[in-house]
Structures are given as C-alpha cells and as structure tokens.
Amino acid sequence: MDLPRSLQQITLRYSAIYLALVFCTSVVGAGGLYLWQTTTQESLRLQSMLHEVDAMRGTLYRQMKEVFDAAFLDDPQAQSQYRAFGQQIEDSLKRLTQSARPGDEANAVTELKRSYREIYQRTDLVAFGPVPSDEHLLQRVLDVDLESGGIRAYEAAFGQIDHLLVQQQDTLQQKLSSLARYTPLLLVVPILLAVGLWLLTQRFLRTHFLQPLSQVLQSTRVLAAGELAHPVPRQGALELVTLADAINQMASDLAQSRKALVSAERQATLGSLVPIVAHNIRNPLASIRATAQVLQDPRLAPEMREGLQGIMDSCDRLERWTESLLSYLHPLEAQRQNTALVPLITDLMTMTEPLARHRNVRMVLQDPVTPLSASIDPELVEQALHGLLVNSIEASPHGGTVTLTLQSEPSRIALTLCDEGPGISYAPETGKLAPGPTTKRTGTGLGIPFALKVLEIHGGGVQFEIRPEGGTKALLWLPLL
C-alpha cells in the first residue's frame, strides 16, 4: 500500500506544476514574439530590396538619358551626371549583395549585376568615346546593340529578382497570417491549463485535506462523547493520517485506562466488602465448628462421627478460603533483598517433600551452570512458588515427576515448572488472572492469582501452557539484577 503524500510534498508538486506552466507559457510567448520579430525583419528586408531594385532600375534609365544627351546634344553636364548615376547603381548593387541570402537571391543579384555591367561597358564607350560620324552606326549602337544586348538582359534579370522577392514576401505574409491566426490559441491554451490546474488543486485539497479534516473533527466529537470504540478514518494527506493514528491510539489507551479504572474500582469495592463478609462468615463458622467439636464423642455411631467431622472439615475449608481471599486482596509490598535462588528453591522442595513422598511423586531440580541471584522479597516469592509447586505435586499421577529448571536468559531469570498431570483446567490470560474455581477438595483457587500478583510486583510474570507429552508447563520469570 502506497503511503499518502504529505502536505509539503503536495505543495512542492503543485508549485513545480505551476512553475512548469509559467515556463511553458513564457517559452510559447517568447517563441511567438521571436517568430513575429524575425518574420517582420525578413519582410522589411525583402521590401527594402524591392525598393532598391526599383530605384536602381529608374537610375539606370536616367543614366541612359545622360548617354543620349552626351552623344547627341553635347551636354557638358551629361558625363558627370552619367558618372553620378553609375555610382548610385553600384552602391545599390553593393547593398543588394549585402542583403541577399545565399542561394537564389544571391544568384539573382549576381545576374542583375552582370547585365548592368554589360550595359555599362556599351554606354561608357558612347558617353566618353569618340562619337561615330555615321548616324546609322550610332543608331545601331544605341538601339540595336544596347537594347538587344544589354537592356533586355537587364530587364530579364530585374524580372527574375523582382519575382523572387515578391514570391518570398508573399510566403512571409502567409506565415504572418498563420501566426496571427494561431497566436490567440497559443495564449488561450496556457490559460485553460491554469484554470484546469486550479480546479484540480481545489478538488485535491477538498478530497485530501478538507473532507478528512472534517471527518477528524466529527470523530473527535464522538470520542469526546465517550464512544472510544469509534475510529477516526485514515484519510487524506500524511499529516492527517498521522493525526488520525495518534487519536486512535489515544482513544485505545483511554479505553484501556477506563477499563483498568473500572476494574480497579470494582477491586476496591470488593476489597472493602470482603472484610465485612469475612467477619460475618467467621463468627458463625466458629460457633458451628465449636458445636461440632463439642458433640464429637467416641460413643456416637460411626455415621454420626463422620458427619460431625465433615462439618468441622467444611468449616476449616471455609476459614482457609476466607483467609486466602483476604491475603489476595491485601496490598503487597515487596521487601527486596539480594537472594540466591537455588537455596530458596531447595528449601522449598524440602518443605514439600512430605507431600511428594505421600503421593509418590519425584521432584528434580536442574541446577544452573552459574549461581543466580535476584533482588526479591524471599518470603513472598517462597509463598508464591510454594502454591504452584503444591499444585504440580497434587496434579501429578502416582509415580510421576515434577521438574524444576532454573536458567539465565538475556534480560531475565526463568524458572520452568513441569508436571505430568492432566493439564491446567483453565487458560488464564497473562496479566489478567483473577480468582477462579478449584477442583481440589482443600483448595481455594487463589494459588495462581497470588503467584502472578507476587511476580508482577517484582517486575516478572507467569505463563502457563499445556505440554504436548502431557501435563502443565509453568514459566515464571524475574528481571536480572
């Protein structure tokens, strides 16, 4: 499952998209402006060349007039005017050469220049050379040779370059028209993208922030009303999911605390009620037992004596049950001291040896490799272990074995108690043990809860499980020093 994005990631993402959109818009605008500028400059260049070609053509014919004036009218200013017009034409050809693009334009300018040079060579002889005495010869030079040999070639070159420039100018006009037609579209597309991105951002914020935040607020109101089982939905950005997890964890902790508080209140109520009940039970029990003991007489019938003994045994059992209940409910305070565990267990086995011998049960202690010690209250721990060991001995069959194993683990000291009996009659949850029923005739049912209570105040615990080969395995542990 993909993790949700955080608000910072979302902000960076949309900021990058906005910057990319601005960049693309700028590129499109700059590209359009550059294209418009280059196209306009090209159009101006072509217009300038057309004007230059037309001007040069007019100057050429004015130069031809000066040739006629010099040849037939003996105009003294004709030769200087002829030179001035020739210089103007050369300047025009130079400017055309500089402006022309390589290729067709350059070739057309070269052809125009060549045709003019042919005309210039013929007219220069007429304007500055000796005038032929034969009018027919002069007419042939001016009309036939100049017109057919030079002017026609020049007009052809002029038509070629004029047609080329006009054609290129038409192409540029088409480009400008297309650019003018598509420019609004290029401007509208970024605007539409910006609007779409804005709508997407609003939808995303509503889906991943506003709505999940509203769900969080609504759920917190439900939790504040006491419905701690109502979960906050894990929706939206990463921060909101983290907030929902924190609130759910807080609600779970509050539910556990409330459950523990209710249990503590019940325990406190029970603790205040039990002494009263015990007092009200003990007084009648003492009277009943005393009466049964007084009536006990060897001369009575065996059935009568057995009934009286049963009454006294029942009174003793109720007395033990009441005493154990008071001991279980009484707060325990451990008086800790550094205690060697192997001697403590050995003494405990010595105390229970008569019971084990009576039931023909063998007890085996597997000593650890190194001596083990713990900071414990030896009397409380001994009392707790005594109850569990007695349970194991009484649950074991005739000829069975109870095995005790003491070993050191990385963070604790573990004592394993294994018997070969039918197995524990109920499976209490670790840390949730409470007084339970007993199937033994003289039991109180408080041995296991008392042992757990003692080990808990020492920072340890008890865990029970059924052995595959039969019997019960009790694992007890204490923290290392």
CA dist list (Å): 458 to 260, 451, 461: 20, 11, 8
DSSP 380-400: HHHHHHHHHHHHHHHHSPTT-
Q: How many residues are present in the chain? A: 481
Nearest to 319 by CA among 294, 291, 286, 290: 286
pLDDT attached to residue 381:
86
> 7-201: which CATH topology?
Four Helix Bundle (Hemerythrin (Met), subunit A) (1.20.120)
**Residue entry with tokens 């050379």:** 129
pLDDT tens sequence across 62-116? 877 887 777 667 777 878 888 888 888 889 889 888 988 898 888 888 888 888 8
pLDDT attached to residue 148:
52
pLDDT tens sequence across 193-228? 778 778 877 887 787 777 887 888 888 888 777 787
Residues whose CB falls within 8 Å of the CB of residue 15, separated by 6 or more in sequence, listed in order: none
CA dist list (Å): 161 to 92, 100, 109: 14, 10, 7
pLDDT attached to residue 481:
64
First to last CA, the chain: 44
SS3 476: strand
CA atoms within 13 A on the CB side of 466: 9
pLDDT attached to residue 444:
46
DSSP 363-382: EEEE--SS--EEEE-HHHHH
Per domain, the residue ranges of the chain are 7-201, 238-311, 332-479
pLDDT per residue rounded down to tens, the chain (481 residues): 455 666 677 777 777 877 877 777 777 777 777 777 888 888 888 888 889 888 888 888 887 788 777 766 777 787 888 888 888 888 988 988 898 889 888 888 888 888 888 877 777 766 665 555 555 445 544 554 555 556 777 788 888 888 888 888 888 888 878 777 777 776 777 788 778 778 877 887 787 777 887 888 888 888 777 787 778 888 777 777 788 888 888 888 888 887 877 766 766 666 666 666 666 676 777 778 778 777 777 777 788 878 778 788 777 767 765 665 666 566 667 788 888 888 989 988 988 898 899 889 999 998 777 788 888 888 888 888 888 888 889 889 999 999 999 988 888 889 999 998 887 754 444 434 444 444 454 444 567 877 888 888 888 888 888 888 888 899 998 887 6
Domains 7-201 and 332-479 share a fold: no
SS3 412: strand
DSSP 133-186: S-HHHHHIIIIIIHIIIIIHHHHHHHHHHHHHHHHHHHHHHHHHHHHHHHHHHH
Q: What CATH superfamily classification does 332-479 receive?
A: Histidine kinase-like ATPase, C-terminal domain (3.30.565.10)
Residues whose CB falls within 8 Å of the CB of residue 83, separated by 6 or more in sequence, listed in order: none
pLDDT attached to residue 24:
76
SS3 481: coil
SS3 99: helix
In the 8-state DSSP scheme, what is residue 332? P
| Structural tokens at position 235 | 């929706």
